[in-house]
Structure 1
Amino acid sequence: MSSNLSLVLSFLLAISSSSCSSRAQAMGVNWGTTASHPLPPAKVVELLKSNNITKIKLFDADPFVLNALSGSKIDLTIGIPNSMLRSLNSSKKAAESWVHDNLTRYSSDGANGVRIEYIAVGDEPFLQSYGEQFYPFVVGAAANIQTALIQAKLANEVKVVVPCSSDAFQSDSGLPSKGHFRPDVNKTMIELLKFLTRHRSPFFVTISPFLSYHQTKNISLDFALFKENARPRNDSHKIYKNSFDLSFDTLVNALSIAGFPQMDIVIAKIGWPTDGAANATSYIAETFMKGLMDHLHSKSGTPLRPRDPPIETYIFSLLDEDQRSITSGNFERHWGVFTFDGQAKYNVHFGQGSGKLLNAQNVEYLSSKWCVVNNNIDLSNATASALEACSVADCSALSPGGSCYNIRWPGNISYAFNSYYQRQDQKANSCGFGGLGLITTVDPSVDNCRFSVELKASQSISSLGYCIVHWMIPLMATILLCFLGVSF
């Protein structure tokens, strides 16, 4: 990825007028850490600050990340994983401990602390593929966190929200006027909306024009990309020119039917992937991002909320993550505006008064070595070895429409071998594959198909160590609470 790519960024506060008051519209970015070799948190914070990104949404309370953000003056949304909802719903002490460990500890240090704006309870717990497993715990967990914030005297500074998936609401006709919440989630949603209203918290929601296009045949690419030549939709004399407005107003109508027509909306996740599927490319992502930013900064709003855009919007996401679940598709690992190592993927204008988006600096990589297939031996078993490698490593770029889909056999075998080799920190025996692998110092990348070299272990949290730290902290907290006699 060339370092001189210019990506224009403006995460500025824009004032949007409404009939009642002026409201600030802000822009932020999701920062996920589901990567085998994540860019070190301190390096990511440098990347954020160098590009004047002032709002970040996290999916958990990673202590390494929170420490790196201390004193950065970046506004923060901290996520609570779905796996913690049951215990937080059952135990007020668990909620108090979570708030103490992840908020009070970091926010009490004045200018050197972390500026926490929201606590996101759960990560899209109403996602249809999850079934109803989290329904009984969502509102109770949010209420206990709210009580803990009050006790910690943080309730005036930090709001509790629950991020909702784009499939939590739907329209049988595909038009906003028929928008409603899914019947199975409706009861719990009403309880949540009452809670949010009581505490003046906004509704956090994912909107995904890419998924709408990818999964729905009646959404055209031009309609998803804000193209002027896209065929508009007419809904009761309201004209829809793009997929974003269509989805947003479907939610607005669902909120109105539920009895909450004036609720503020925050777009918790929106973006366009750059690999792993057809029409998931850097060029198309650039087109989408430019269209989105132009639309948001125009302050035009939507047909149901004219001149009233979402109060905040969080781009998904900052960096690619090679360990994200690919249940929805291989594109899930390629949402980043930056590559895994902090290099800008494309050019886009985010608004007036913007400056050049800078790449991560002084990134340290492993040696310039790759693992490829040895063409001088019998390759009859190479495909089986490649499939085995891909079961551990990330081969999403090889999927149909991906950046490496068109490289010829055995180039695709080499790609799989190298992905595994890099995942294993270039250990010599990880390029064996029964004698099929060969280590080379000649970059085998072809056209847009990049054979990556991973980050140095010293410059990242190793895959094993990272997972242990990530899982041991909540585990130890649970053990301690059980030892103290806290009931779950």
Structure 2
Amino acid sequence: MASKLLLLGLLVKLLMLTDAQPVGVCNGRNGDNLPSEQDVVTLFQNKGISRMRIYDPLQPTLEALGGTNIELMIGVPNEALQMLTNQNAAKTWVNDNILRYPNVNFKYIAVGNEVDPNKESSQYVNFVLPAMQNIHNALKDVGLDGQIKVSTATYTGLLDNTSPPSGSVFKGNVQGFIEPIVKFLAENKLPMLANIYPYFGYLGDPNKNLQYALFTAQGTVVNDGSVQYSNLFDAMLDAHYVAQARVGGENVEIVVSESGWPSEGGEGATVDNAGTYYKNLIEHLKGTTGTPTKQGIRIETYLFAMFDENKKGPEETEKHFGIFSPDQQLKYDGLSFN
């Protein structure tokens, strides 16, 4: 009997691992030397990348995705948020960018990206939740609210006291902005999107523990009560979960909407480090069933980004997050996306 139970346990574990969430990749277009939209979609297919994030509802990209079954996270740019606080405008947006493309496999709508009361994007703070609600209602009106999930993309800059993760909170002047959003997501069983960058955590770490950021640390680096962390990605993600739980989002799943490492342009930004990060992140996502404090969940993650984008800035590193160079050559050996 014991041997049968052991065999069953091994089978369940094998099924869990083989059912690992496929990794998505963000398809930014902020460059003047990038492949055509059709070539990009073909590259996704050839490399077995089954999920894509885009930041604008670009017609050529949507047309190229038609019939491919690539799951899509489509973005509403921050500049469009105010317009979508009008319900009729939100219905028009859904009609023009969702319903017009019935052969595109839409999965998420990211309503705004990294809106922050403490940054230049503070001008959009009052528009995020109404725009999310209106887009969600427009989807509900056409029976798509169960298929396409509405959210917004946050980031670690909204948090305080993140190390150890158990102390994490949203910054004081962020709470009034984020708490109603979290409660809206909880009420409608929608996920939160979060951009998680151990690279920036590494830059802000006085100890500059590169191994902790690259998944190469040997053993525990951070003890947090009964919980141990051996990599910064899990610690940053759990910090988001902890902060979220404090404002009513204990059961709101987090989808990692961006994570990456630059290959040049700044401290620690090398081809070796970037290749190590992407490879180890993918392996971590395939082999894990959650974080130390959020067990039993798959960590759906979108790598940032598909290509180096030469028009990004102002920091030089922002031009060098690509997994592929603009000539469609993979920059790092050994990466497998499924």
Following the alignment from structure 2 to structure 1, what is the Cα–Cα distance between the partners of residues 330 and 296? 32
* Alpha carbons 2:307, 2:326 under 8 Å: kept: yes
Following the alignment from structure 1 to structure 2, what is the Cα–Cα distance between the partners of residues 127 and 26? 33
Following the alignment from structure 2 to structure 1, what is the Cα–Cα distance between the partners of residues 208 and 161? 14
Provide the identity percentage.
Answer: 32
1:302 Cα shift? 2.0
**Superimposed CA distance per residue, residues 299-335 of structure 1 (whole angstroms, 9 cap, x where no aligned partner):** 242221134342x110101111111132xx2100111
Partner of 2:304: 316
* Alpha carbons 2:24, 2:302 under 8 Å: kept: yes
Following the alignment from structure 2 to structure 1, what is the Cα–Cα distance between the partners of residues 16 and 316? 37
* Alpha carbons 1:75, 1:116 under 8 Å: kept: yes
Corresponding residue SS for 1:38: coil
Q: How does 1:295-310 map to 2 (within 5 A)?
A: 295-310=284-299
Following the alignment from structure 2 to structure 1, what is the Cα–Cα distance between the partners of residues 301 and 78? 22
1:254/1:219 Cα in 2 relative to 1: closer, same or farther (>3 Å)? Answer: farther
Following the alignment from structure 1 to structure 2, what is the Cα–Cα distance between the partners of residues 349 and 35? 23
Following the alignment from structure 1 to structure 2, what is the Cα–Cα distance between the partners of residues 69 and 274? 28
Is the deviation greater in 26-35 or in 288-297? 288-297
Following the alignment from structure 1 to structure 2, what is the Cα–Cα distance between the partners of residues 210 and 184? 25
Partner of 2:224: 235
Partner of 2:92: 97
Following the alignment from structure 2 to structure 1, what is the Cα–Cα distance between the partners of residues 118 and 306? 25
**Superimposed CA distance per residue, residues 105-151 of structure 1 (whole angstroms, 9 cap, x where no aligned partner):** 012xxxxx111111110112127422531111100000111111122
1:128/1:316 Cα in 2 relative to 1: closer, same or farther (>3 Å)? Answer: farther
Following the alignment from structure 2 to structure 1, what is the Cα–Cα distance between the partners of residues 15 and 154? 26
Task: Please tell me whether residue 28 in structure 1 is matched to residue 17 in structure 2.
Answer: no
Task: Please tell me whether residue 290 in structure 1 is matched to residue 312 in structure 2.
Answer: no
1:50 Cα shift? 0.7
Partner of 1:165: 155
Task: Please tell me whether residue 333 in structure 1 is matched to residue 319 in structure 2.
Answer: yes
Task: Please tell me whether residue 191 in structure 1 is matched to residue 186 in structure 2.
Answer: no
Following the alignment from structure 1 to structure 2, what is the Cα–Cα distance between the partners of residues 262 and 152? 27
Corresponding residue SS for 1:47: helix
* Alpha carbons 2:20, 2:298 under 8 Å: kept: no
Corresponding residue SS for 1:133: helix
Q: How does 1:46-65 map to 2 (within 5 A)?
A: 46-65=42-61
Corresponding residue SS for 1:266: strand
Corresponding residue SS for 1:167: helix
1:192 is matched by which residue type in structure 2? I
1:78 Cα shift? 0.7
Following the alignment from structure 1 to structure 2, what is the Cα–Cα distance between the partners of residues 230 and 339? 34
* Alpha carbons 1:245, 1:302 under 8 Å: kept: yes
* Alpha carbons 2:183, 2:248 under 8 Å: kept: no
* Alpha carbons 1:268, 1:314 under 8 Å: kept: yes
1:171 Cα shift? 1.3
Q: Is there any run of 5+ residues in structure 2 with no aligned partner, and where? A: 1-13
Q: Is there any run of 5+ residues in structure 1 with no aligned partner, and where? A: 1-13, 18-22, 108-112, 355-488
Following the alignment from structure 2 to structure 1, what is the Cα–Cα distance between the partners of residues 42 and 104? 15
* Alpha carbons 1:16, 1:299 under 8 Å: kept: no
Following the alignment from structure 2 to structure 1, what is the Cα–Cα distance between the partners of residues 16 and 192? 18
* Structure in which a larger fraction of residues adopt helix: 2
Aligned pair partner of 1:152 in 119, 142, 146: 142
Corresponding residue SS for 1:56: strand
Q: How does 1:47-86 map to 2 (within 5 A)?
A: 47-86=43-82
* Alpha carbons 1:122, 1:138 under 8 Å: kept: yes
* Alpha carbons 2:186, 2:251 under 8 Å: kept: no
Partner of 1:372: none
Q: How does 1:445-464 map to 2 (within 5 A)?
A: none
Q: How does 1:134-153 map to 2 (within 5 A)?
A: 134-153=124-143
1:218 Cα shift? 3.1
* Alpha carbons 1:16, 1:307 under 8 Å: kept: no
1:46/1:156 Cα in 2 relative to 1: closer, same or farther (>3 Å)? Answer: same
Moved over 6 A (4+): none
Following the alignment from structure 2 to structure 1, what is the Cα–Cα distance between the partners of residues 256 and 53? 11
* Alpha carbons 1:55, 1:74 under 8 Å: kept: yes
Q: What is the number of residues matched between the two proteins?
A: 324
Following the alignment from structure 1 to structure 2, what is the Cα–Cα distance between the partners of residues 127 and 341? 38
1:220 is matched by which residue type in structure 2? N
2:240 is matched by which residue type in structure 1? L
**Superimposed CA distance per residue, residues 248-269 of structure 1 (whole angstroms, 9 cap, x where no aligned partner):** 1111211221122222110000
Following the alignment from structure 1 to structure 2, what is the Cα–Cα distance between the partners of residues 346 and 45? 20
Corresponding residue SS for 1:156: coil
Following the alignment from structure 2 to structure 1, what is the Cα–Cα distance between the partners of residues 69 and 297? 27
RMSD: 2.0
Partner of 1:448: none
1:279 Cα shift? 2.0
Corresponding residue SS for 1:126: coil
* Alpha carbons 2:25, 2:53 under 8 Å: kept: yes
Following the alignment from structure 2 to structure 1, what is the Cα–Cα distance between the partners of residues 317 and 266? 6
